[in-house]
Structure 1
Amino acid sequence: MTATIDHDPGPGPDPDLRRAAPGVRSRHGVRELLVRLHFYAGVFVAPFLVVAALTGLVYALTPQLDQLVYGDRLGVERTGGPTVPLSGQIAAARAAYPEGVLASVATPAEPDGTTRVVLDVPGLGERQRTVFVDPYTAEVRGALATRSGATPLTAWLGDLHRDLRLGETGRLYSEAAASWLWVLVAGGLVLWLGRARGRRAASVRGVLLPERTARGVRRTRGLHAATGVWLALGLLFLSATGLTWSQYSGERFGRLVDAVQGNAPKLDTRLPGAAPASGAEGGEHAGHGGDGATADAAEPAEPGPAAFDTALATARRAGLDGPVVLTPPADASAAWVVAQKDDVWPVRYDRVAVHPVTGEVTARTRWADHPPLAKLSKLGVQGHMGVLFGVANQVVLVVVALGLVLVVLWGYRMWWQRRPTRGDRASRLGRVPARGAWRRVPLPVLVAGVPAVAALGWALPVLGWTLLLFLVVDAAAGLVAGRAR
């Protein structure tokens, strides 16, 4: 059964809806199956992709938005010249905000940036109070309730992109979008390149650009597909990096990293001669410099501001240049942690543990020694967030996000243009690719494909469950349609 498209002046039936001969297994059956999968995923998952694209677009612009909203605290009016010692800046911050416990201090990432003095304050929950100090004058510029170093605006927009601020339900939306994005991209590329074989589109120009003389659904298809080709690499990157820190697929990814010993090396914060820690040694995500202390070790008093000068001087002598974060010892048996925090390429992520009494380096981790998988994961996150290559990174993300929205809109338009318009078969919706394509898929492809899809469903659980849901709904719709005949 074929369907002609009233809006398409091209000859013959629409190739995307053309069916292979009944009962004949061939590569045309594979194409039919891909068309149906691409169609259903596009119709039902595309709204998630649009939301993810738009929220991601806004999040990519958070550096500029932060400057617009919090510029008086994040930046300084005068740059250059000598800076006040870190101890003097901390003393000024504590004089203005004495409440809470000093958690860490971050030096400015840019010459016109402020020093960040972070305080753990009761009543703020997972947030902290960050005091912003002019490094040249020690003037306190103000304070914000931050989360993991992010301003309130950045944290809010991050939650919006991650889970629409809906908690667990929103996390499922986000993971569904990331899980299906690469399927849509890969399937679309296969379909478009398959159409190009033996036709004008076989040329490079025909693959990368829509046909200028096309009209109706053919023109829309060309815009949809050619734009997708241009965006494919960026979309696949966003899908892969987004999945690495998603809830369910991220957990599977963590197992893989553990299995191949691809985790970043942890910094040992235990002091020489101290009792072994009851937990894992301190890592970059461990609070106050990580573990490394026994459970019954007494917490030391808050170190004086001068101790930060000593720790910073030791780290500088050890080669840690650029912006750094200094974290006091978690307890009496732990060392200071000084970590480079330069997320812009070429990144700097070396860390040292500094003895609180002698001021000597007791341990070190180097970015150069990180396993390849740990490096790729870290750099991928920074690129996904629009940080790794500065403004250029942001521009690429904005272009990809806007392009994805256009591809989705053209996809829906193409579906609408395929609707029957004859008086006796008029419809508000476009045609749906015929079901039953799997019966025309070659047996070797089915035998190899079913276990591969099952393994993929395990690795990407949200993809697996939603695909199963599609199959159940499609089968139920087929039964209902069969009984209605």
Structure 2
Amino acid sequence: MSDKILAHSARAEQSRSALLPLLRRLHFYIGLFIGPFIFVAALTGALYVMTPQLEAALYSHQLYTSSQGPEKTLAEQVRVAEEYIGPDATITALRPAPTAGETTRVMFTVPTKGSATTAVFVDPHTLEIRGMLNVYGTSGVLPLRTTLDYLHQSLLLGEFGRNYSELAASWLWVASLGGLLLWATSRAPEKIKKGHRSRGQSLLRHRYWHSTLGVALLLGLLFFSATGLTWSRWAGENISSMRSHFGWLTPSVNTLLSPSSEEHHTPSALSAHSETGEHAGHAVPMSGDETGEHAGHSVPASRNIPQQPADEHAEHKMQAMSMAEESVAKVAILPEQFDAVVKTARDAGISAGKIEVRPSTRADKAWTVSEIDRRWPTQVDSVAVDPRNYALLDKVEFAQFGLLAKLTRWGVDAHMGVLFGLPNQLILAVFALGLCVMIVMGYRLWWLRRPAAGQGPHPAETLLYHWRKLSVSARFLLLVGVVALALSLPLMGITLLIMMVIDLLRWQRANRVAA
């Protein structure tokens, strides 16, 4: 009996001793092959979060005015903007001047501009047109930040380029937690001697600073990875499906107008409809359901990409719904309606200085007024208003959000550097640039530890070799975990397979050299 216990203990010890080399080899491969993608994502992200002040200076003529005096009505401002842009444009949103010295932004869709929205900037005091710019997403990101956002998200390569940022986010948390475990289980390093420039001392210095930076930045790196995945293409769809399944989506106002709504209006209870949003700063389809400031991170993929019908009956039903939507009568948007709709919203408690009014040309849809000041984590209330008699139809307050919806809202805004303004920007920049420095140190470590010329790598230093050293139960559990992660994070699964193929080819080559 004691022999069996000793044998089991020996196998367990051998399994534990094989796990750390396996983790170390995986950490090395992530740094070597995925490190460049993480570096680019961190650097472009740091550039993005530090641009609001630069953008404010670059577009100061459009955004600000020195005029004083009473403000004109919203109807007058909208009418001037419509006359300036021409009859072919359709108004899609209005952002009244939030404070004195700022302009009103009237946004239009123009047939010749594609997906971009054109904003006309109006001086609310004199009705002077201050300029016209393309803006993106519901947050209205201007051209400079839009370009940097697409650079961060897709390297300006379109849908294909989005894979790079998803790959970085998929592996960042693994590299961070793996590095923490390696740091915690490693023996104390030899004393670093100041002034010594030997290869060994240089190796110790770089290892110390690499691991110290990793531990110091750990929480931020996990945050980057988690929030970045919500905007990704493949993993983001899985996250969105999970949130929808468990009812964790962010609630939105009910904008459906009933035929009898003119006679009787009562604000409904919290409407948990799956709202449509845009990530203007990350402005391509994404999987989250949050309205953000990124031009490329703001469109939830779950809303932007139609789901495939489960059967023929469902397909016919979807076609019927589409035909019904096309048959809904269109109504004109009148400038006079904006003042009355905003008054109803203000009376209902929409108190933020920055608001956005979204009209509807559909006869069965209400207008919405939303708070858009992301510097404060609670100013995201919204209401639906009937444009026919300006009655309040529905209201959703941030206080009614579920805990996960609140955390998602805060996470989105913090990732983009808009939560609390400048402090958020500085913190993100420090973490992103620190990550870049850590990656550079990791490459320096690899260079210092590379095998001497002519020796070549040891054939046993492979992922498969260390995995086979684990116990049967440990291998099974690890395999189940890897398969689950590969299905949830497809790009992680694909690149892990590539790493294993490289491992195998490397092992075969080393054996041929040894023979």
Please tell me the residue identity of whatever aligns with 1:259: H
2:287 maps to what in 1?
Answer: none
Partner of 2:208: 222
Distance 1:444 1:31, change over 3 A: same
Long gaps (5+) in structure 2: 1-9, 262-271, 279-302, 304-320
Matched, 1:185 2:176: yes
Cα deviation for residue 200 of structure 1 reads 7.8
| Counterpart check, 1:382 vs 2:413 | yes
Partner of 1:319: 349
Separation of aligned partners in 2, 1:40 and 1:465? 14
1:455 match: 484
Matched, 1:84 2:115: no
Q: Which moved more, 1:105-114 or 1:178-187?
A: 105-114
Q: CA deviation at 1:113?
A: 2.7
Contact 1:25 1:441 (C-alpha < 8 Å) held by counterparts: yes
Counterpart of 1:413, as a letter, is: R
Residue 477 in structure 1 maps to residue 506 in structure 2: yes
Task: Find out whether 1:70 has 2:56 as its counterpart.
Answer: no
Please point out which of 444, 452, 463 is paired with 1:413: 444
Contact 2:67 2:126 in 1 (8 A): no
Change in 2 beyond 3 A, CA 1:22/1:348: closer
Structure 1 residues 262 and 432: CA distance shift in structure 2, 3 A:
farther
Tell me: CA distance 1:256–1:211, structure 2 relative to 1, closer, same or farther (3 Å).
farther
1:70-469 alignment to 2 at 5 Å? Answer: 70-78=59-67, 82-99=70-87, 100-148=89-137, 149-195=140-186, 199=188, 215-273=201-259, 283-285=275-277, 294-303=325-334, 305-322=335-352, 323-421=354-452, 425=454, 434-435=461-462, 436-469=465-498
Kindly tell me: are residues 282 and 274 of structure 1, through their superposed partners in 2, closer, same or farther at Cα, counting changes over 3 Å? farther
1:380/1:134 Cα in 2 relative to 1: closer, same or farther (>3 Å)?
same
What CA distance in whole angstroms lies between the structure 1 residues aligned with 2:371 and 2:134?
Answer: 23
Tell me: CA distance 1:447–1:87, structure 2 relative to 1, closer, same or farther (3 Å). Answer: same
Q: Contact (CA 8 Å) 1:103, 1:118: kept in 2 or not?
A: yes
CA distance in 2, matches of 1:31, 1:468: 20
Deviates more, 1:238-247 or 1:129-138: 129-138
Which one-letter code corresponds to 1:172 in the other structure?
Answer: N
Distance 1:462 1:138 in 2: 52
> What is the CA distance between 1:24 and its match in structure 2?
7.3
Q: CA deviation at 1:78?
A: 4.8
Distance 2:55 2:484 in 1: 43
Partner-residue secondary structure (3-state), 2:107: strand
Structure 1 338/227 Cα, relative in aligned 2: closer, same or farther at 3 Å? same
Inter-CA distance 403–451: structure 2 relative to 1 (3 Å threshold) = same
Tell me if structure 2 keeps the 8 A contact 1:131–1:140. Answer: yes
Distance 1:282 1:477, change over 3 A: closer
Q: Would the alpha carbon gap of residues 281 and 412 (structure 1) be closer, same or farther in structure 2, given more than 3 Å must change?
A: closer
Q: Equivalents in 2 of 1:173, 1:223: separation in Å?
A: 27
Q: Does the aligned pair in 2 maintain the 1:344–1:387 contact within 8 Å? A: yes
Give the letter aligned to residue 325 of structure 1: E
Structure-2-length-normalised TM-score: 0.80
> Following superposition of structure 1 onto structure 2, how do residues 28-47 of structure 1 map, counting pairs within 5 Å?
28-47=17-36
Deviation sequence 1:306-358 (CA, Å, 0-9, x none): 21000000000000011111111231222111111121123311111111121
Q: Is the Cα contact below 8 Å between 2:379 and 2:398 reproduced in 1?
A: yes
CA contact (8 A) 2:459 2:511 kept: no
Structure 2 SS opposite 1:25: helix
The letter for the 2-side match of 1:47 is P
Matches of 1:48 and 1:94, distance apart in 2: 44
* Aligned partner of residue 262 in structure 1, secondary structure: coil
1:88-125 deviation digits (Å, cap 9, x = unpaired): 22222223223411111012345443211001111000
Q: Is the 8 A contact 2:39 2:435 kept in 1?
A: yes
CA distance in 2, matches of 1:115, 1:158: 24
User: Matched residues in 1 for 2:35 and 2:366: separation?
Assistant: 50
Structure-2 change in CA distance of 1:113 and 1:211 (3 Å): farther
Runs of 5+ consecutive residues of structure 1 not aligned to the other structure: 1-20
Offset at residue 459 of structure 1 (A): 1.0
The whole-number CA distance in structure 2 between the counterparts of 1:113 and 1:50 is 37
Change in CA separation of 1:25 and 1:200 when aligned onto 2, cut-off 3 Å = closer
Task: Give the count of matched residue pairs.
Answer: 443
- The change in CA–CA distance for 1:45 and 1:433 in structure 2 (over 3 A counts) is farther
TM-score, L = length of structure 1 = 0.85
- The CA deviation at 1:46 is 0.6
Match of 1:9 in 2: none
SS in 2 for 1:26: helix
Change (3 A) 1:109 1:409: farther
Aligned equivalents of 2:449, 2:225: Cα separation in 1: 29
